[in-house]
Amino acid sequence: MQDWDIFCSVIDNYGDIGVTWRLARQLADEYGFAVRLWVDDLHSFARIAPGLDAGLPQQSLAGVDIRHWPAGDFPAVDAAAVVIEAFGCPLPERYLAAMLQRARKPVWINLEYLSAEDWVAGCHAMASPHPRLALTKHFFFPGFAGNGGGLLCERTLLARRDAWQADPAAQAQYWQALGVAPRRDGEWLVSVFCYESPAARQWLAAAINAAQPLCLLVPQGKVLPDLAAALGLNTLPQAGEVHECGAVRVHVLPLSDQDGYDRLLWSCDINIVRGEDSFVRAQWAGRPMLWHIYRQQEDAHLVKLEAFLQRYCAGLPERLSRQIHDLHLQWNRDQDITASWQALPQTLAAWQQHAQAWPQIQLADGDLAMRLVQFTEKQLQ
């Protein structure tokens, strides 16, 4: 059995661990690999994996051997045949020494952040010899369609999504369990899992006074201060609370596990998402989405956003393409999206059709795990 070690340093609470946890589970489940996942923050990890005991330094969950990555002395362990450092987190010196002890050096991969930029194709799978040690690291870039390393998607995910979306009884039971009242006439269900921003606050305030009824499903997260301000609340809303104001009713949801979040995305008409993990899962949901990308210095994030939008909107009618561009760029530039949002009913049906077709296009050349396994097998030959 091929063994893998995946290292994750949790930076923004859920994004990095979200990606590595999905990858670890998929490698163990679909390929039968022995996977160790080293994580430096088990408490954040436990919030998206409720079966995890944050107090245990070693445990097994979903077929993955989970280890706490201590801040101090790293334990003496044998290095795996394949080693992944997620998003450039530096490996412990003691583990590097263990890698050198293997008769056949491990395949060492830096799993990079997702980008749709053109330069990714030229850098994907590039080798980088270590400056001191007889080890070589390869850079693996997730990407779109045939460009780069693909996107994380389990083999059965789209079939499970289709079955869920075709089962109104299961959806009704799901909403009832969350305490969400049945949909009102003409109401849009919108999930909101984004960063705090002036654009979010302006949009919420405008939505309250708009004609279009909205039911906002808001998992606990960074947008709650904006939500409180728009609703005129003196304290942050808590999970389980329901607030109604104007055309908007808001349900604050507890942070769920990853499978539960997928069901939320599948069940909504529009999904507002953030970062990388929820961004990719919203694409697999096959529903219109608005991506709140992580802000970077000198507006580098806007370049990445525009690169994605160019791919996502390629071949679309001008009106729909402009609508999608306007919503994304205005939100991520902290501009007022009220006018663009009010125009959305005119293009929503066409956007829904595009969103449904998009996942199959992106998976035509295989998902990230498949491409990663193919790459490592070539290196191990």
Catalytic residues: 16, 276
- Tokens linked to 368: 């990230």
Helical ranges in 68-191 per DSSP H? 93-101, 120-123, 157-165, 168-178
- Continuous H helices in the chain: 15-31, 42-48, 93-101, 120-123, 157-165, 168-178, 198-208, 224-231, 258-267, 277-284, 300-312, 318-332, 338-342, 348-362, 368-380
Instruction: Please state, in angstroms and as integers, the Cα–Cα distance from residue 150 to each residue in 112, 270, 274, 373, following that order.
Output: 12, 24, 19, 12
Coil/strand/helix, residue 40: coil
Q: Which residue has the tokens 């979010």?
A: 200
CA separation for the pair 312, 115 (Å, rounded): 13
Please count the CA atoms within 13 angstroms of the CA of 6 that sit on its side-chain side: 29
Closest CA to 19 of 85, 107, 90, 70: 85
Contact between residue 292 and residue 194 where contact means Cβ atoms under 8 Å apart: yes
Q: Looking at the DSSP assignment, which residues form a beta bridge with residue 61? A: 64
Name 26's Cβ contacts closer than 8 Å, sequence gap at least 6.
Answer: 152, 154, 369
Give the tokens for residue 181: 């009242």
First to last CA, the chain: 15
H or E segment at 30?
Answer: helix 15-31
